[in-house]
Amino acid sequence: MNICVVGTGYVGLVTGAVFADLGNEVLCVDNQPDKIAALQAGRMPIYEPGLEEMVARNVADGRLRFTTDLAAAVKRSHIVFITVATPAGSDGQTDLTAVEQVARGIGQAMERHTVIVNKSTVPVGTGEFVRDVIERHQAKPVPFDVVSNPEFLREGSAIEDTLRPDRIVIGAANQQVAMTLLELYAPLERPMIITDVPSAEMIKYASNAFLAAKISFVNAIANICEQAGADVGQVTKGMGLDARIGPAFLQAGLGFGGSCFPKDTESLVHTAAVLGYDFRLLKAVVVVNRERVALFVGTIRKTLDPLDDKILAVLGLAFKPNTDDIREAKSIEVIERLLALGARIRAYDPVAVANAKKVLPPTVIYCDSPYEAAAGADGLVLVTEWNEFKFLNLERVRGLMRRPVVFDGRNAWEPERMRRLGFEYYSIGRKPVSPA
């Protein structure tokens, strides 16, 4: 099939590369000439394991191309995927400006029946909105269908999630157009569910909101564990073995961040309010998540007070491992709060430093290794649980630090081991330990 993918962020670039790898002719479109030029030169705008190799392979085979010409791409395509950004406003309302601009361009360019697929995360009702925009801007009446096909990929494992998703959701107005998407996805041999368009749009928001609720729930439990002297790791292990609950998303830490969960929870709260429902449960999820960093930094402050001119080594800047994305990353809030208290920050991340430099204050010093960051530090703060950090030579780290105290925001290390190694150790939902 001839496919057009509009938007070359995480969703669009991975979607385009995977469809090309399945044998389709894919044209990826973006309105940023510099970004397209970089992709044409083989430079990736994001870090995602395996993506650069997949893109290079399909570009070399002629199945994947990049352009800024939306009209030309629409005219040659049977299916057009909309994968542009849908950020949240200050009130939680989803900003559909980019979706509207793409829909307008599709309407102006369309010359034959085309299937328009919303893959961006959008509130319920967006399918009708896109249909209306296209109809109002058509140069001549041309039949088309609007489909909802939400993505469920996770940054850091986006290719695996696209090739082997738990399910493929297709929201379509009729069986015939649904079959077009079924044919496209058939080579993946994964479970598919066909719904109406509004239900497909709701599935994405409901899924992300539920996972966010699990994260906030376990972090609230961690707060209680700290006060009661319980170990949240043992608690969640006992919970997760219940088949009705499961272990996924039950890791206590600094809360959820990134480009999806914060935005999607706020958007669903707003959508519910517009429809006349006060989603108090999800509001509480958001509140618990917002409290996490303040509680964590409070522990650091209490332990090292005063923080004036204290050197803190911060390990991890990306919002999660295996990505360079720092959108809604907890590192930003942690560092800004510590700087405001007078601390000096030495930071390290395997891949996210370049993006961090764009948003963090210029006083942050960036290091080439975790050991360089730890040298002379009055405390070490783990924010992102990269595997590299889990396998550090901790004896070497202790020897480099001025004061061997560790604040583990992701429970990456075992308290008893840290005690034996001579660390003063603070984690989430577990009792602090002092050196042996």
DSSP string, 269-303: HHHHHHTT---HHHHHHHHHHHHHHHHHHHHHHHH
Structure tokens at 231: 């170990």
Q: Please state whether beta strands 79-82 and 2-6 pair in parallel, antiparallel, or not at all (unpaired).
A: parallel
Q: What is the largest CA-CA distance in the chain?
A: 78
Cβ-contact 337, 293 below 8 angstroms: yes
Residue 131: strand, helix, or coil = helix
Q: What is the pLDDT of residue 185?
A: 96
Looking at the DSSP bridge assignments, the partners of residue 115 are: 79, 145
Structure tokens at 369: 């290794």
The domain spans of the chain are 2-195, 196-436
Same fold, 2-195 and 196-436: yes
Q: 153: which residues sit within 8 A by CB, 6+ positions away?
A: 10, 11, 14, 161, 162, 165
3 state SS of 242: coil
Q: State whether residue 99 is helix, strand or coil.
A: helix
- Residue 268's SS3 state is helix
* 196-436 topology per CATH: Rossmann fold (3.40.50)
Residue keyed to tokens 């042996």: 436
Question: C-alpha distances in angstroms, 68 versus 81, 326, 375?
Answer: 15, 26, 47
Residue 343 identity: A
Q: Is the peptide bond before 191 cis (omega within 30 degrees of 0)?
A: no
The model's pTM:
0.92
Using an 8 Å Cβ cutoff, are 176 and 143 in contact? Answer: no
- Cis-peptide, bond into residue 150, ω within 30° of zero: no
For position 140, what pLDDT does the model report?
Answer: 86
CA angle 393-394-399, nearest 5°?
105
- Helix 232-240, helix 197-228: angle, nearest 10: 140
Place of tokens 């499961």: 246
Phi, then psi, of 383 in degrees rounded to 5:
-110, -40
Distance CA 163, CA 49 (A): 14
- Residues with Cβ within 8 Å of 320's Cβ and at least 6 positions away in sequence, in order, are 155, 156, 257, 258, 384
The first and second tokens of residue 130, run together, are: 């896109």
Tracing tokens 């893959």 back to the chain, one arrives at 119
Task: Give the model's pLDDT for residue 90.
Answer: 80
Task: Compute the distance between CA of residue 33 and CA of residue 346 in angstroms, rounded to an integer.
Answer: 35
Counting as low any pLDDT under 50, the low residues of the chain are: none
- The confidence score (pLDDT) of residue 391 equals 93
- Distance CA(319)–CA(409), nearest Å, equals 12
Handedness of CA 420, 425, 431, 433 (dihedral sign): positive
Q: Tokens representing 372?
A: 């360089």
Q: Identify the pLDDT of residue 107.
A: 96
Give the pLDDT score at 259. Answer: 84
- Termini Cα distance of the chain: 65
Which is it for the CA torsion 16, 21, 22, 24, positive or negative? positive
Residue written as tokens 């509009």?
Answer: 6
Query: Given 4, 28, 225, 260, which residue is catalytic?
Result: 260
Q: What is the CA radius of gyration of the chain?
A: 24
**Residue 4 annotated among the catalytic residues of the structure:** no
For the chain, what's the residue count? 436
pLDDT at residue 67, rounded to an integer: 97
* Superfamily per CATH, domain 2-195: NAD(P)-binding Rossmann-like Domain (3.40.50.720)
Whether the CB-CB separation of 82 and 103 falls below 8 Å is answered with yes
Hey, what are 202's tokens? 């709701």
What distance in Å separates the CA atoms of residue 170 and residue 260, rounded to the nearest whole number? Answer: 20
